[in-house]
Amino acid sequence: MSVTSVTGDSWLRRYRPRPSARRRLFCFPYASGNATFYRDWALTLPADVEVVAVQYPGRLDRIGEPCVRDMDTMVDGVVAALRPLLGTDFALFGHSMGAAVAHEVTSRLEHGHGVRPRRLFVSGRPAPRHHRPGQTKHRLPDDALWDELRRLGGTTDAALDHPELRAAVLPTLRADYQLVESYRPTGGPPLATPITALTGDVDPEAPVRQVADWAAYTTGGFALRVLPGHHFYLIDQQARVLDELRAGLAL
């Protein structure tokens, strides 16, 4: 399957272009992740929804570009890339760091440009009130930082033990951690965009009670979905996550 960039934009990837789809779902990867994480979703979701995955700089086909280390720069780039595509009904999904980016992009679109998505899906991330900036994991020695990736799961031991993969991913992981740890969530009024928050029932990074507090960040309706699993519950629970997306997108 070939990958198609969107209108030549370096930020967005379509793995199954559906120009006549009724909905678009913009998907945001986790720290050290990339757009290919959402490739299967593009094949599995119904034909009337087009999955468009965000490709952050500094990974895969953007490996030659410097990583983004602050949230404002990341949101500026994503919003500029998305704006030509907002004529079609759309929603956003982000996991972990991607949830924070997706929330900030939604806030910028709604409060700055008067554009309201159908829904925001935030996965594996506590509500912004629980964010604790100022951590310094991005300054850890390489071995300790790599152990963080192992602790979170979602990556096979074979991949983690691959020296070339480690050399390629470590700079991205360090930059993404710096972005998250230096980030200050945007204040201001809650979104009118409805929010669905998802998490694993034993995710130490996103405890259920902290994820439930996303309810305070919207006046447009809120749903909490707790599925079995740890931080990367959405890999084993992909079918149930896609069911939630179908419901939230009114497909």
Cβ atoms of 98 and 209 within 8 Å: the answer is: no
Q: What tokens appear for 238 in the block?
A: 């992909």
Structure letter (DSSP) for residue 203: -
The residues that are catalytic are: 96, 231
Cα–Cα distance for residue pair 82/50, rounded to 1 Å: 14
Cβ atoms of 153 and 232 within 8 Å: the answer is: yes
Task: Show the DSSP H helices in 27-186 as ranges.
Answer: 39-44, 71-82, 97-107, 113, 142-152, 157-160, 163-182
